[in-house]
Amino acid sequence: MTQASDTTQEIISGLQASTPSISPKFFYDDIGSRLFEVITLLDEYYPSRTEKSIMEANSQAIALAVGQCDVLLDLGAGNCAKASALFDSIKPKQYRALDISKAFLESAVADLQKRFPMIEMQAQAFDLIQPLDFPDLINQRKTFFYPGSSIGNFDTESAKRFFENIAKVCQGAGGLLIGVDLIKDREVLHRAYNDSLGVTSAFNLNALLHINRLINANFDVRDWEHHAIFNESLSRIEMYLRAVRDVQVSWPSGKQSFQKDALIHTENSYKYTIANFTQMLLDAGFKSAQTWTDSNSHFLVCYASA
Ligand code: AVJ
């Protein structure tokens, strides 16, 4: 099967499942990537700002924990801003930026290369559901970087497998520098995913426009509304698109109807405690974990040493 038809098939089976869903990776087309950048600027969306201040306040301690860095592997690099903020303290010899959307990534890396000519840089299209394997980096001391609580999109089992995979690829050297969102007051969580400007709503709805292009479907965003709730027992924010009326959607090989109030699940964003997050890393095979947080314990930065 070609890659295009795999994607088409994945989207169609999601839409036709008994619990309809769209993978959160389909948020990030050109518009979605930009909307997400705007989300990170909102007052209500504390994670990005808080993570940045934790990284800045502890840059020397983090650099000490990381030690020698032959290659910094940025998983889900986006605009590369977070990794580049570490260059002065961590001093990587090489920087490998990985992300699902290569066009966006390549221009970001090209800009960055001008600012840091000494660091060897490479952009690589990468879907994190594929196994992590870097045959060209064997014997290089690797620092994996996975900021922004992107790990929140994984259910706990997949997160553990992902950590096991990284620990293994590290071959007993280097490690993982990761940012994760913490469990907190549900009002604070709710506001972060239901901002007053409606940017998160636009971000969520935009997945439908992306899907329209990918499978040639005819979703009308005016038929849907944003819905985000904190599921306390599963410790995650759940995002949905809810049909505001009965809706018929079709694409060349099929169609699907949704009754008023039907939900399409678009994202889970898991929240952790410091204790259960570090335990998970140790269970996955890392030798030790160092953590840094903010004064409100809203967000966690963690270095797990392989
Ligand atoms: C990029 C997955 C960390 O879960 O907070 C932001 C995505 N969704 N607002 C998150 C997101 C809605 C974000 N992550």
The stretch 11-36 carries a mean pLDDT of 95
Predicted confidence at residue 52, as pLDDT, reads 96
User: What does the angle CA 186 – CA 192 – CA 197 come to, to the nearest 5 degrees?
Assistant: 135
CB 142 within 8 A of CB 76: no
Residue 104 has pLDDT above 80, yes or no: no
CB 96 within 8 A of CB 122: yes
Predicted confidence at residue 128, as pLDDT, reads 80
In terms of phi and psi (left: phi > 0; alpha: psi -120 to 50; beta: otherwise), the region of 171 is left
Ligand 1 neighbours, Cβ below 6 Å, are 39, 47, 148-150, 152-153, 193, 200, 267, 269
Query: Which residue owns the Cα nearest ligand 1 atom 13?
Result: 150
Pocket test for ligand 1, best of 22, 34, 36, 82 (most atoms within 8 A of CB): 36
d(CA 95, CA 176): 14
Neighbours of 220 (CB within 10 A): 11
Predicted confidence at residue 266, as pLDDT, reads 98
User: What is the 3-state composition of the chain as percent helix, strand, coil, each rounded to the nearest 5?
Assistant: 40, 25, 30
Query: Which residue owns the Cα nearest ligand 1 atom 4?
Result: 269
Residue 114 has pLDDT above 70, yes or no: yes
Please name the residues in contact with 46: beta carbons below 8 A apart, sequence gap of 6 or more: 188, 192, 298, 299
CB 178 within 8 A of CB 296: no
Predicted confidence at residue 30, as pLDDT, reads 87
Q: pLDDT (tens digit, 9 = 90+) per residue, 218-273? A: 999 999 999 999 999 999 999 999 999 999 999 999 999 999 999 999 999 999 99
Please identify, by atom number, the ligand 1 atom nearest to the C-alpha of residue 148.
3
Predicted confidence at residue 4, as pLDDT, reads 55
The stretch 29-50 carries a mean pLDDT of 95
Q: pLDDT (tens digit, 9 = 90+) per residue, 116-169? A: 999 999 999 888 878 888 999 999 999 999 999 999 999 999 999 999 999 999
Predicted confidence at residue 2, as pLDDT, reads 52
Q: Percent of the chain having pLDDT more than 90?
A: 90
Query: Which residue owns the Cα nearest ligand 1 atom 10?
Result: 269
User: SS3 of 12, please?
Assistant: helix
Please identify, by atom number, the ligand 1 atom nearest to the C-alpha of residue 203.
12
Predicted confidence at residue 166, as pLDDT, reads 97
| Model ipTM over 0.90 | yes
Q: pLDDT (tens digit, 9 = 90+) per residue, 42-80? A: 999 999 999 999 999 999 999 999 999 999 999 988 789
Please identify, by atom number, the ligand 1 atom nearest to the C-alpha of residue 269.
4
Please identify, by atom number, the ligand 1 atom nearest to the C-alpha of residue 228.
12
CB 89 within 8 A of CB 62: yes
Q: pLDDT (tens digit, 9 = 90+) per residue, 178-191? A: 999 999 999 999 99
